[in-house]
Amino acid sequence: MSVLVSGSIAIDNVKTRTAAKDNLLGGSASYAAIAASFYGPTGLVGVVGHDFPDEHLKLLQSRSIDLEGVEFSGGETFRWTGEYMEDMNERETLDVALNVLESWQPAVGESQKESVSINLLANAHPANQHAVIDQVGDRPHFTIADTMDLWIQISRHELEALLKRIDLLVLNDSEAKLLMDTSNLIGAGHRLREMGPDYVIVKKGEHGAMLFGENDFFACPAYPLHEVFDPTGAGDSFIGGFAGYLASLGKSEFTFEDLRNAIARGTVAASFTCESFSTHKLQSLTKDQFDERLGEFKAYSHFA
- What is the mean pLDDT for each group of 10 consecutive residues in the chain (304 residues)? 93 94 97 97 98 97 96 97 90 94 96 92 97 85 94 96 97 96 96 97 95 96 94 97 97 94 98 96 94 96 83
Q: How far apart (Å, rounded) are the C-alpha atoms in residues 286 and 296? A: 16
Q: Which residues contact 94 (CB under 8 A, 6 or more apart)?
A: 81, 82, 83
- Give Cα separations from 259 to 137, 165, 211 (angstroms): 22, 19, 8
Sign of the C-alpha dihedral computed for residues 157, 158, 161 and 162 taken in this order: negative
pLDDT at residue number 86:
87
Exposure string of 18-27, with b = 16+ CB inside 10 Å and e = fewer, is eeeeebbbbb
Q: How far apart (Å, rounded) are the C-alpha atoms in residues 161 and 282? A: 34
pLDDT at residue number 304:
77
pLDDT at residue number 140:
65
State the residue range of the domain holding 25. Answer: 2-301
Nearest in space to 260 (alpha carbons), one of 211, 202, 303: 211
Q: What are phi and psi of 275, to 5 degrees?
A: -95, 5
pLDDT at residue number 184:
96
Q: How far apart (Å, rounded) are the C-alpha atoms in residues 146 and 277? A: 22
For the packed helices 256-273 and 234-248, what is the interaxial angle rounded to 10 degrees?
140
Task: Report the number of distinct structural domains present in the chain.
Answer: 1
Judge whether 130 and 161 are in contact, CB under 8 Å: yes
Q: How far apart (Å, rounded) are the C-alpha atoms in residues 55 and 189? A: 40
Judge whether 143 and 121 are in contact, CB under 8 Å: yes
pLDDT at residue number 10:
97
Say which CATH number the domain at 127 has: 3.40.1190.20
Q: Which residues contact 35 (CB under 8 A, 6 or more apart)?
A: 236, 237, 238, 239, 240, 241, 244, 266, 269, 273, 282
In single-letter form, the type of residue at position 112 comes to Q
The three-point CA angle 3-30-116 to 5° equals 15
Q: What are phi and psi of 54, to 5 degrees?
A: -60, -30
Residue 215 in 3-state DSSP?
coil
pLDDT at residue number 1:
61
Give this prediction's pTM: 0.96
Bridge-based pairing state of the strands 199-203 and 168-172: parallel
